[in-house]
Amino acid sequence: MLGSFQQSNLRIEVDAKEEAIRESLIESDRLKQWMWPQNFTSLSGQLNTGDTFISSIGLIEIEHQVELVGDNCLRLLLSKGIDGYHEWSWGDGWLQSRLEGVSMLPLNLGQTFSLFRLRQYLNTKST
């Protein structure tokens, strides 16, 4: 894998309940809404352990394998454009994202953008 090893752990406050955060992360229709500009293939319904799907940003594809879906956590193994994992944890009023992998992409920048897009999405859904 070309690129450098990167890791990032971000936590933000969100004005949302635990269940709303969970639904935004594991319901594919909701995930597709706030994860723009990423495009998704072979993603439908609710994410379950063992599911795989591909997202793309321009010409770069990232394969996601769902390793764990819990009440307060989601862990995805990543390959192709990022070789690593993305772990989400949440509760009432907070959301945490941990991303680690080898990639040529600026992972921290993408992760920060995703967290703020999700917070914005949750804010519009709660009003």
The answer, yes or no, to whether residue 90 has pLDDT greater than 80, is yes
Please give the pLDDT value at position 44: 86
pLDDT category at 127 given cuts 50, 70, 90 is: low
- Check: CB of residue 16 under 8 Å from CB of residue 121: no
Prediction pTM value: 0.91
Q: What is the DSSP letter of 104?
A: S
- Cβ–Cβ contacts within 10 Å for residue 75, how many? 17
Q: Counting beta carbons within 10 angstroms of the beta carbon of residue 13, is it exposed (0 to 12), middle (13 to 18) or buried (19 or more)? A: exposed
Q: What is the mean pLDDT of residues 26-36?
A: 91
The answer, yes or no, to whether residue 113 has pLDDT greater than 70, is yes
Return the CATH number at 68. 3.30.530.20
pLDDT category at 1 given cuts 50, 70, 90 is: low
**pLDDT > 70: what percent of the chain?**
98
pLDDT category at 57 given cuts 50, 70, 90 is: confident
Domain that holds residue 32: 4-126
Q: What is the DSSP letter of 50?
A: T
- How many structural domains does the chain have? 1
